[in-house]
Structure 1
Amino acid sequence: MRTTVLAAALALTAAFAPTTAAGAAATATATATATANAAPRPQLGACAPGELCLWEKPDFTGARHIHELSGLDIESCVALPAGASAQALANRTGRPVTTYQSAECAETAEFETYPGGGTWVPQSPYRVRAFKVWEN
């Protein structure tokens, strides 16, 4: 719907735009903006059921670290290796996962809990340095 409305607006603008260089430039800018807005969103990162996947960079890029539910202690703080952090994540554990800005899972820094049924976060609001997996 958004693309259709935008296309109609661009068509009307083109129909009534003056045939000057400034009018042509305005139409070209509007077309470029429409094309940028219609660009595809990033692909979801690959993460299998039962896994918590963390990517080093936004949009599921950079090094991926996989933590399987079978290898995690429930309700224990799991710190990422020293100096490591994540900016994107996928929670496929089937359980809620809280990510922490603090490597000690301290709640004095930023933290967020994500449902476990299949949550993909292309850009965390902070660098993730630790996490906890919770009982349902």
Structure 2
Amino acid sequence: MVFAVLFSLLTRTVSPRLGVLGFRKPGRPVFSDPVSPDHPIRRRAHGPRVIWSGSRRSAGLFLRSLVVALVAALGFTVPAAASPFCDRGEFCVWSGISFRGESGKFGIGSSAVGECIVLGRESRSLANLLRHDVTVYESPECATEADFTTYPGLGTYVPTTPFVVRAIQLWPA
């Protein structure tokens, strides 16, 4: 409903006789053809008067653009996804691609080197900012029968993993 009203406001022409909403101002007659030289607004002793000036059109266009920008900014915002921020010394995973969705962070202090760590959720993007290499597994048991890949440390970002990651294993530096 709000968008329909805003659309009708933006698509109406603004006239000197009519208000912004298109209603007639009191005391002003409505003529069918304001462009004709016989129209009372345009008739003058020394020639027709210019109704629209460039600055008036520019102001109207600016106001319409401003309203459209505000509606776009306020009405079409998308809820923010999980923060893609991952600190140095952390291995981070996200449930969605492009570092979106639920996130999980692992560090050397909270994870044992050489042991299989089950993530507890399916992850589709990751960032390795550890000093250690990390192997990611499709199998939750870190089995090598399913897909697995090792990513080097110190700044590896993978926005879309080649398979769904269910477990990880940290390797000694």
Are residues 1:130 and 2:167 paired? Answer: yes
Partner of 1:35: none
- Tell me the secondary structure at the aligned position of residue 132 of structure 1: strand
Structure 2: gaps spanning 5 or more residues = 1-82
Matched, 1:95 2:106: no
Q: Name the CA distance, whole Å, in 1 between partners of 2:131 and 2:155.
A: 7
Contact 1:45 1:90 in 2 (8 A): no
In 1, distance between residues paired with 2:108 and 2:157? 17
Aligned to 2:77: none
Question: How much has 1:130 moved relative to structure 2?
Answer: 0.1
Aligned-pair identity (%): 37
Match of 2:92 in 1: 53
Q: What does residue range 1-136 of structure 1 map to in structure 2 within 5 Å?
A: 45-81=84-120, 84-136=121-173
CA RMSD, 1 decimal: 1.2
Deviation for aligned residue 1:99: 0.1
Cα deviation, residue 70, structure 1: 1.1
Contact kept in structure 2, 1:97 and 1:133, CA below 8 Å: yes
Deviation at 1:45, TM superposition (A): 2.9
Q: Secondary structure at the match of 2:103?
A: strand
For 1:87 and 1:130, the matched residues in 2 are separated by 12
User: Which structure is larger by alpha-carbon Rg, 1 or 2?
Assistant: 2
Unaligned stretches of 5+ residues in structure 1: 1-43
Give the whole-Å Cα distance in 1 for the aligned partners of 2:148 and 2:164: 10
4+ residue runs over 2 A deviation: none
**Which TM-score applies when normalising by structure 2?**
0.51
For 2:153, give the aligned amino acid.
G
In structure 2, how many angstroms separate the alpha carbons of the residues matched to 1:117 and 1:66? Answer: 15
Tell me the SS of whatever aligns to 1:71: coil
- SS of residue matched to 1:129: strand
* Residue-by-residue CA offset, 1:81-128 (whole Å, 9 max, x unaligned): 2xx110000001110000000000000000000001110000000000
Q: How many Å separate the matches in 2 of 1:114 and 1:86?
A: 15
1:71 maps to a residue whose letter is S
